[in-house]
Amino acid sequence: MGYSREIYKMATAEIARRKIKAIADAERRRNEVFAKFPRLQEISDQLAGLSINLSRAILAKGDIRQDIERLKAENLSLQAEFSKILKNAGLDEDCLSPRFICPLCKDEGYIDGKMCRCLKDLMKNKSMEELNKLSPLTLSDFDSFDLKYYPDTTNEFGINPRERMREILNYCKCYAEDFAKDSPSVLMLGRTGLGKTHLSLAIAKSAIRRGFGVVYGSVQFLVSKLEQERFDKNREGESENTLQMLCDCDLLILDDLGTEFLTSFVVSALNEIINSRMMADKPTIISTNLSPEELEARYTERISSRIIGYYHTLHFVGRDIRQLKRTR
């Protein structure tokens, strides 16, 4: 997967900050421990001196085997005393060493010239952050979803909107609590202003708090970004990265399907995203104002049949909440 130079710079800068912090924290702990146990400082200085003497002995001419063995024995004795003092103080032997976030590369980002998994993951996370920069991911939660705006009387279809929305709210809460990388995909159907975006954002917020990688955006915004990157020669390689991100993230939320300007590129991109995630058994949440019949009429049968047949459908009912709030 290709990443832009900006993403690479942000990720490597974060890796560098991690290493600096780990080393600084280790130095602080070392100073605190040595201040409390001065003998540890003495031993540390003696070990440094022995290391120098050992190097000199190795470079010296003549029979230096006895000197080397003596220095080695003294080194082992000092190390044993050092460990004993730490143990008696209830301290771990590694407490003075840097605690790197990635023990594999020691926060270098590379292992033997090859990019470490930690740097790859960091670039992936930075890419998701950039995609979500304009998204209101922290603005909605389940507690602020108010059922009082839904009528508590049966409508012409024999449905009580408040009870229906209570069921949908409970389903979304359980979905968020039990969310996993193989959770089912969800299709939220209903007119504008019925709470589809609110509940999908609440799910996203919960998943992000639990450490899952979430990408949220309106279909119009995401496909416009893909189209811009695809045909912008100055950003070659980024389109592949964004498309891959949409296909690979733990949870993808496509808001307002049906409001985008439909082109052959958009249809192709939607088909690839939906199909790739379905084949990989990755969950997607799609919200739309269109009915199943309108979905079939607007998109190819390939797209509409997969969405309608594969996704768990939630039918939102009621009156436009945003209008109700403005009149109260």
Same domain, residue pair 305 and 156 = yes
314, 312, 327: which is closest to 166 by C-alpha?
Answer: 314
CA 31/CA 183 separation, integer angstroms: 49
Same domain, residue pair 187 and 292 = yes
Same domain, residue pair 165 and 308 = yes
Task: Give yes or no for a contact between 126 and 11, defined as CB atoms under 8 angstroms apart.
Answer: yes
Same domain, residue pair 253 and 104 = no
Look at residue 127 and tell me if it is in a domain.
no
Look at residue 232 and tell me if it is in a domain.
yes
CA 277/CA 283 separation, integer angstroms: 7
Give the residue from 118, 150, 170 where a domain finishes: 118
Give the residue from 88, 118, 148 where a domain finishes: 118
Q: What is the model's pLDDT at position 5? A: 72
Look at residue 82 and tell me if it is in a domain.
yes
Look at residue 258 and tell me if it is in a domain.
yes
CA 213/CA 254 separation, integer angstroms: 14
Same domain, residue pair 263 and 142 = yes
Bridge partners, 219 (sequence order): none
Number of domains in the chain: 2
Same domain, residue pair 153 and 190 = yes
Same domain, residue pair 176 and 285 = yes
Look at residue 126 and tell me if it is in a domain.
no
C-alpha dist (Å) from residue 266 to 45, 247, 269, 300? 67, 15, 5, 12
76, 78, 80, 85: which is closest to 44 by C-alpha?
Answer: 78
| pLDDT tens figures, 93-137 | 788 999 999 999 999 999 999 999 999 888 888 877 776 776 776
* H helix or E strand, kind and range, residue 214: strand 214-218
What CA dihedral angle connects 270, 274, 276 and 278, to 10 degrees?
-170
Same domain, residue pair 98 and 48 = yes
Q: In this structure, is the dihedral angle defined by the CA atoms of residues 55, 56, 60 and 64, taken in order, positive or negative?
A: negative
Look at residue 123 and tell me if it is in a domain.
no
Taking each helix axis from N to C terminus, what angle separates 264-279 and 219-231, rounded to the nearest 10 degrees?
110
Q: What's the predicted TM-score (pTM) here?
A: 0.69
Same domain, residue pair 62 and 162 = no
C-alpha dist (Å) from residue 148 to 11, 21, 212, 296, 297? 45, 50, 32, 33, 34
Look at residue 125 and tell me if it is in a domain.
no
Q: What is the model's pLDDT at position 3? A: 58
Kindly state the tokens that stand for 178.
């039990």
Beta-strand pair 214-218/186-189: unpaired
Look at residue 69 and tell me if it is in a domain.
yes
Task: Give yes or no for a contact between 308 and 299, defined as CB atoms under 8 angstroms apart.
Answer: no
Same domain, residue pair 181 and 291 = yes
Taking each helix axis from N to C terminus, what angle separates 196-209 and 161-177, rounded to the nearest 10 degrees?
20
User: Which CATH number do you get for residue 274?
Assistant: 3.40.50.300
| pLDDT tens figures, 182-196 | 999 999 999 988 999
Same domain, residue pair 148 and 293 = yes
Q: What is the model's pLDDT at position 326? A: 60
Give the residue from 48, 83, 118 where a domain finishes: 118
**φ, ψ for residue 111 (rounded to 5)?**
-130, 115
190, 186, 219: which is closest to 204 by C-alpha?
Answer: 186
Q: What is the model's pLDDT at position 59? A: 66
Task: Give yes or no for a contact between 104 and 117, defined as CB atoms under 8 angstroms apart.
Answer: yes
What CA dihedral angle connects 99, 112, 123 and 121, to 10 degrees?
-60
Same domain, residue pair 70 and 144 = no
Which residues form the domain of 109? 5-118
pLDDT by residue for the chain (328 residues), tens only, comes to 455 677 788 899 999 999 999 999 999 999 999 999 999 999 888 888 877 776 776 666 656 677 677 778 888 898 899 889 988 988 887 889 999 999 999 999 999 999 999 998 888 888 777 767 767 766 688 998 999 989 998 888 889 999 999 999 999 999 999 999 999 999 999 998 899 999 999 998 898 888 888 888 899 989 988 888 777 655 554 445 788 889 988 999 999 999 998 999 999 999 999 999 999 999 999 999 999 999 999 988 888 999 999 999 999 998 876 666 665 5
Taking each helix axis from N to C terminus, what angle separates 38-59 and 5-36, rounded to the nearest 10 degrees?
110
